[in-house]
Amino acid sequence: MGREIGGILERAVNITNMKFSLVIPVYNEEKSVGPLYREIFSVLEKIKKPFEIIFINDGSTDGTLKELLKLPAVKIIDFQRNFGQTAALDAGFKEAKGNIIVTMDGDGQNNPSDIPLMLEKLEEGYDVVCGWRHSRKDFIHLRFLSNIGRMIRRLLFNDQIHDSGCSLRVYRGNVVKNLDLYGEMHRYISTILSLRGFKVTETKVSHRLREYGRSKYRWQKNIKGFIDAVNLWFLYKYRARPLHLFGAAGILISALGFLLTFYFAFIRVFLGVPLSGRVLPIAGMFLILFGVQLFATGMLADILVRNHYSTSGEKSYFIKNIIINE
């Protein structure tokens, strides 16, 4: 078999000196995995570095697994059922042994020939290189929803990456090892890594029409993605200081309630204006109490967070290097 693929098989199984790991989630792509595999090998043959290819079969119900089993020199992670792209990438990251990890879709729309250019970009000193499908070959509604998602990311995180939905990416292996992905978080991997202080950039890549099968994209994923975005914003902005968020909101709401209550008390006592039948005075008292509850919630959350960090050993910061000069 090693002769049939030009001697690449030996490099593909050299785990002790692994350079590249390709992580490819697939779901019902029985006609795509074979051609994609051959394209990948053609590209890696020119790079001439040890590598591994990891396919994550995300609960496919067609013949995808059968086709994957025909491919030499691959590692297959076979899910019990369909868990989604985020779970598939998380499993692939944790299984990958390479110093550099490349991810791509299994539908053939990403072009493996873009990988060498992305690797060159990575060597300019970046930790992550994201593909940007500048001329995207998708339906207009998908491009529209992607633009909405980009606006939300820029608003919440000041994220300048154009195409968070492009799976063709190159990572340094160490930057993704401590990631724990869930929900629809695969859209925000570059955002998470940027928030952690890693250097993230993008480069234009080609995008091809789908030849086999049909898109697995569903509009419901946008709702889940928005919820994950808000959750991510809270976790990375306030996870170590929830009192700053809840406390500030509580103070503002209580202040508004106090102003309303003071105003109606003034016009009742000094101007003799009757307040019977008015709702706003009651609303003012309610806002004061609600603000106090928010502040108290922030204090309790702050105590829980401090207890978590003190008992779990997890840190609220990320160290790049420790340098000792002698």
pLDDT in tens, 67-79: 999 999 899 999 9
pLDDT at 11 over 60: no
How crowded is the C-beta side of 68, counted as CA atoms within 13 Å? 24
Helix (H, G, I), strand (E, B) or coil at 37: helix
How crowded is the C-beta side of 72, counted as CA atoms within 13 Å? 14
pLDDT value of position 325:
65
Average pLDDT of the residues of the chain: 83
pLDDT at 183 over 90: no
Domain ranges of the chain: 8-238, 242-312
Enter the tokens of residue 181. Answer: 């992905």
Q: Helices 242-269 & 220-238, crossing angle to 10 degrees? A: 90
pLDDT value of position 244:
84
* Distance separating alpha carbons of residues 306 and 304, to the nearest angstrom: 6
**How much is the pTM?**
0.73
pLDDT at 145 over 70: no
pLDDT in tens, 285-311: 999 999 999 999 988 887 887 776 667
- 20-26: strand order across its sheet: 75-78, 51-57, 20-26, 100-103, 169-172, 128-133, 200-205
Q: Of 221, 205, 228, 224, nearest to 105 (Cα)?
A: 205
pLDDT at 186 over 80: yes
pLDDT in tens, 231-255: 778 777 777 778 888 888 999 999 9
Q: Which amino acid is located at 212 in the chain?
A: Y
pLDDT value of position 48:
81
Contact of 227 with 45, CB cutoff 8 Å: no
Torsion (CA) 56, 59, 63, 67 in degrees, nearest 10: 10
* Distance separating alpha carbons of residues 174 and 88, to the nearest angstrom: 18
* Distance separating alpha carbons of residues 136 and 150, to the nearest angstrom: 15
| In CATH, 8-238 is 3.40.1360.10 | no
pLDDT in tens, 102-132: 999 999 899 999 999 999 999 999 999 999 9
Helix (H, G, I), strand (E, B) or coil at 317: coil
Enter the tokens of residue 210. Answer: 């789908």
DSSP-derived pairing of the beta strands 128-133 and 169-172: antiparallel
* Distance separating alpha carbons of residues 142 and 218, to the nearest angstrom: 10
Q: What is the mean pLDDT of residues 33-44?
A: 93
pLDDT value of position 196:
86
pLDDT value of position 286:
94
Helix (H, G, I), strand (E, B) or coil at 141: helix
pLDDT value of position 307:
79
β-partners of residue 132 are 204
β-partners of residue 75 are 54
pLDDT at 33 over 80: yes
